[in-house]
Amino acid sequence: MKNISIIIPVYNESSNIRPMVEALHQVMAKTGYGYRVIFVDDGSTDQTLETIQQLAQCDTRVFYISFSRNFGHQNALKAGIDFAGGDAMISLDGDLQHPPELIPVLLEKWEQGYDIVYTRRRDEKGRDKFKRNTSNWFYRLMRRLSGLQMEPGIADFRLLSRRVADILGTFREQDLFLRGILKWMGFRQYAVDYTPGRRFSGQTKYSSRKMAKLALQGITSFSVKPLYISIILGIGFSALSLAYVPYIVWCVISGHAVAGWASTIMVIMFFGGMQMILLGIIGIYVGKIFIQSKQRPGYIIKETNMPEHVDNN
């Protein structure tokens, strides 16, 4: 029998744990696969871990990996993939927004030979316009900068085959942006569209700030093109200032070369601001090199009941 690992990153989702497990049991029982449900507790501060532990005592299919603090959704997914085992793994959100009923479709595509079966969010009436628009802009920018064909609405609800997970396990990249990396990896990929459900309970853990951080991480870990902005702007402004020379010469010749304080300050401020922005962009990349050079792990596991992990220690 083939075994499927179901990976669920959770951060303060205590009231969603039981409904989630029940929904998964219902769906998976019909498929006939062996399976286990692995929660990755991303440093929750509520009763999430206790709820999972209680459940794990009477349900042998429930496992958990608990982080020492909040390391972020992408790192939680990576930990799940690193430790999951099984012939294939499926990751989904712990708030029932990724419909578990879609799992049999993902499995079917996997059986047909696809190594990565990912999902795209469609019909987003429930989502607020701001989130949808910013997400669409982001993917457009990402496509231009990275050259990867990333469609809008790609979700972290996906199936990965064993070999894809094994390859991912060798990655030591900080600031992992899975949606980009998986596109970049190749293999046969298949997209399934879905309509997101409503959050079962609790609030979104992705604030605008976290979204902006993820977007910036995605862009700067897939493209160095923003670094070229300075060269393009430099050339542009050099050309412009050259065009200014004849005007200055004319002013001197015609004898009214005084005044002009306001325009001088304007120019200084403009270029000052421009330099700040460009230094900031360079700074982000230098920071990435710094963080990466320290080779710190992306997450720290505090406790787990995963047998493989216990054996490893």
Q: Which residues bind Mg ion (CB under 5 A)?
A: 93, 95, 97
244 binds ligand UDP (CB under 6 A): no
Least distance CB 146 / ligand UDP (angstroms): 21
- Give the residue, chosen from 73, 78, 158, 183, that forms a contact with ligand UDP under the rule CB under 6 A: 73
Q: For Mg ion, give the closer residue by CB, 95 or 175.
A: 95
From 4-12, 78-86, 137-145, 167-175, span contacting ligand UDP (CB under 6 A): 4-12
C-beta separation of 15 from 201 below 8 A: yes
Q: What is the DSSP letter of 100?
A: G
179 binds ligand UDP (CB under 6 A): no
Give the relative orientation of helices 178-185 and 73-83 as an angle to the nearest 10 degrees: 50
C-beta separation of 93 from 121 below 8 A: no
Hey, how many other C-beta atoms are within 10 angstroms of the C-beta on 260? 13
Residue 222 contact, options Mg ion, ligand UDP, none, Cβ 5-8 Å cut-off depending on partner type: none
10 binds ligand UDP (CB under 6 A): yes
Rounded CA-CA distance 209/165 in Å is 29
Residue 94 contact, options ligand UDP, Mg ion, none, Cβ 5-8 Å cut-off depending on partner type: ligand UDP
Least distance CB 175 / ligand UDP (angstroms): 14
C-beta separation of 10 from 44 below 8 A: yes
Hey, how many other C-beta atoms are within 10 angstroms of the C-beta on 297? 12
Site for ligand UDP in 139-168 (CB under 6 A): none
Least distance CB 166 / ligand UDP (angstroms): 23
State the number of CA atoms in the 13 A half-sphere of 146 facing the CB. Answer: 24
- Give the residue, chosen from 35, 66, 95, 194, that forms a contact with ligand UDP under the rule CB under 6 A: 95
Binding mask 203-242 for ligand UDP (x = CB under 6 A): -xxx------------------------------------
Q: Residue for token digits 């507790």? A: 41
Radius of gyration of the chain, Cα coordinates, nearest whole angstrom: 25
Residue 86 contact, options ligand UDP, Mg ion, none, Cβ 5-8 Å cut-off depending on partner type: none
- Pair of tokens at residue 33: 């696969």
13 binds ligand UDP (CB under 6 A): yes
70 binds ligand UDP (CB under 6 A): yes
From 51-59, 201-209, 222-230, 281-289, span contacting ligand UDP (CB under 6 A): 201-209
From 24-32, 117-125, 137-145, 198-206, span contacting ligand UDP (CB under 6 A): 198-206
3-10 sheet: strands from edge to edge: 189-194, 116-121, 154-161, 88-91, 3-10, 34-41, 62-67, 301-304
Site for ligand UDP in 111-130 (CB under 6 A): none
Give the three-class secondary structure for 1: coil
The dihedral sign for the CA sequence 252, 255, 260, 261: positive
**Residue type, position 226, single letter:** P
Least distance CB 10 / ligand UDP (angstroms): 4
User: Residue numbers of the site for ligand UDP (CB under 6 A)?
Assistant: 9-11, 13, 42, 70, 72-73, 76, 93-95, 97, 204-206
